[in-house]
Structure 1
Amino acid sequence: MPVTPEQQAEIDALREAPRETLRTVSEGMERHLYVPHQVLDHGFVRVVDYMGDDAAICQAARVSYGRGTKSVQNDEGLIRYLMRHWHSTPFEMCEVKFHVKLPVFVARQWIRHRTANVNEYSARYSILDREFYIPAPEHLAAQSGVNNQGRGEVLQGEEAQRVLNLLREDAMRSYDHYEAMLAQDDNQQGLARELARMNLPANIYTQWYWKVDLHNLLHFLRLRADAHAQYEIRAYADAMCRIAADWVPAAFAAFRDYRMDAVSLSAQAVAALKRRLAGEVVTQENSGMAAREWREFQEVWG
């Protein structure tokens, strides 16, 4: 269960007690505030606080004194200009704080994005729950033969079941030993929590608060919501994309057009494309591109 009954009761109480404010409010984000969005089997992502909206981006760019100084159409045009020309500081004026429940191995990928403020659940102070990420069968894949950090074909039949059984059995056995080491009775003092945790597997769930500005959030999403990202972290990024699209719709639309769905070309690729348009036959050998870049070029341009 991603959210306990006690946590859900707290969320319901928060949402049932709205307060008047003079702060900027994003109606789209208000619908997400405090609500957990389930990710994977036991995980979730939810917004616990935020600051700013699309208008705040424009206000910062113009250094204006209030809302309504320009039309909505002009605001969208300005946001698209800022995104297109890689202006970052106006987007840094918006911030969001997420509460995330995620497997430890996903957290170790996630934490490489260092431009955020993070506070994680302490397994030195508290005891972790018996919750582990076990992949759904359709996400249980063999090693890719062409990508050293990717997946290949989905495992089938007995082999898939064998792997799932090993994952479950190892996780449960590790947690049983974790509890046994912590146990205190007449015969043993019990191992310290900070030491007992070392025996836990990387698919156990942890939780953290992750606060980030919009510019760095979009950078995170550009990498982790990409089709080449690992499925497990991409599942969280996809949920956060949906939240961001409601929070700052103009900024997220510009981000999708100029970052997520756009193509970046090297000088060699631009030259090759121009030569093709001029009717010249361009090959990898005469393109000036390495084999891998040439494959990526062909994936987009044929």
Structure 2
Amino acid sequence: MALTSEQRAEIEAQRSEPQLTSRPTVAAMENLLFTPFEVLDHGFLRVVDYMGDDGAVVQAARVSYGRGTKKVSEDAGLIRYLMRHRHSTPFEMCEIKFHVKLPVFVARQWIRHRMASVNEYSARYSILDREFYLPALDQVAAQSSSNRQGRSEALDPETAHQVLEILRRDASQCYDDYESLLNPEGTGLARELARMNLTLNTYTQWYWKIDLHNLMHFLALRADPHAQYEIRVYAEKMIEILKAWVPATATAFEEYRLGAFTLSAGMLKVVRRRLAGETVTQENSGLTKREWSEMTAVLDGAS
């Protein structure tokens, strides 16, 4: 993991100078605050700041002044109710800020989640590092025949090595040209123009601040098994952090979002017909083939 010496010094300074505060804190979060967690080959994820906890969600839902006025079990029950019925605003009372290092092509997927505040490393102002994402051998996979935006089985090792060599060669050549273009003794090209030559597996960094409700929406999509691996590993690490930050909310989130499946009105009718003993097929269900496949995969464990 490539943290600069300045970043390491900043982290050490932050961790060695705890701040006194009257606001609610979470011991588990205080322990991991500023700590970078490795993701992919050169990426990382770390919590820079956070606001609120499970109690803040409960307090907002009850619009109360005090804390600890109810039993922990009652608070957890309320959080589960809020999650189950998608009452989202109490979760918006909590916020978290991450420092993330990630490949550019992952960042372009990530930025589509617009309900966040983002400040990215400026390649107009600074020079990007010579760091590129190269997937592990088992992640070099062929195009899926059933999913236009996904991958299928891993390529054979010999072919995968060839692919990795092409990716490594192209990224290195483009970065060499990037440095050459920037060289004041050569072309002296402006940084904002020279960056065009870099490959999409070049690493960038940003600060990303989001409220708890929208964070869970992000995680529900990006931690899904169908999400691209390279963004999913960041989401999976964020779920670990979520469990440390708001454990009751994280439990409800896993129960009602990550581990759940939403039935459409048509799917619900099919389930009721099946419970009544009726034989229902895709042809007489009123569902499309894709809807039928998605439903049966959940209800029957079909592939």
| Aligned 8 A contact 2:181 2:187 in 1 | no
| Aligned 8 A contact 2:40 2:230 in 1 | yes
Q: Give the Cα–Cα distance (whole angstroms) in 2 for the partners of residues 293 and 220 of structure 1.
A: 23
- Equivalent position of 2:246 in the other structure: 248
Deviations 1:33-80 (A, max 9, x none): 100011000001100000000000011111111211211111111111
| Aligned 8 A contact 1:80 1:254 in 2 | yes
Instruction: Please say which of residues 143-152 and 27-36 is displaced more in the overlay.
Output: 27-36
DSSP 3-state at the match of 1:171: helix
Q: Give the Cα–Cα distance (whole angstroms) in 2 for the partners of residues 218 and 30 of structure 1.
A: 21
User: When the two structures are superposed, what TM-score results if normalisation uses the length of structure 2?
Assistant: 0.97
Amino acid at match of 1:252: A
Deviations 1:84-131 (A, max 9, x none): 111011000000000000000000000000000000000000000000
- Equivalent position of 1:75 in the other structure: 75
Deviations 1:219-257 (A, max 9, x none): 000000000000000010001000011100001100110
- Equivalent position of 1:214 in the other structure: 212
- Equivalent position of 1:135 in the other structure: 135
Amino acid at match of 2:172: M
| Aligned 8 A contact 1:83 1:258 in 2 | yes
Q: How many residues align?
A: 300
Counting only pairs closer than 5 Å after superposition, residues 97-176 of structure 1 correspond to structure 2 as 97-176=97-176
- Equivalent position of 2:2 in the other structure: 2
- Equivalent position of 2:30 in the other structure: 30
Q: CA RMSD in A?
A: 0.9
Q: 1:184: Cα distance to partner? A: 1.3
- The structure 1 residue matched to 2:259, chosen from 261, 282, 286, is 261
Amino acid at match of 1:77: G
| Aligned 8 A contact 1:2 1:41 in 2 | no
Identity of aligned residues (%): 65
| Aligned 8 A contact 2:223 2:235 in 1 | yes
- Structure 1: state its 5+ residue gaps: none
Deviations 1:258-283 (A, max 9, x none): 11101100111111111112221111
Q: Give the Cα–Cα distance (whole angstroms) in 1 for the partners of residues 197 and 280 of structure 2.
A: 56
Verify: 1:45 aligned to 2:45, yes or no: yes
Q: 1:189: Cα distance to partner? A: 4.8
| Aligned 8 A contact 1:42 1:131 in 2 | yes
Amino acid at match of 1:54: D
- The structure 2 residue matched to 1:230, chosen from 211, 228, 235, is 228
Q: Give the Cα–Cα distance (whole angstroms) in 1 for the partners of residues 208 and 14 of structure 2.
A: 20
Q: 1:29: Cα distance to partner? A: 1.3
- Equivalent position of 2:93 in the other structure: 93
Q: 1:298: Cα distance to partner? A: 1.2
User: When the two structures are superposed, what TM-score results if normalisation uses the length of structure 1?
Assistant: 0.97
Instruction: Please say which of residues 175-184 and 70-79 is displaced more in the overlay.
Output: 70-79
Amino acid at match of 1:261: G
- Equivalent position of 1:197 in the other structure: 195
- Structure 2: state its 5+ residue gaps: none
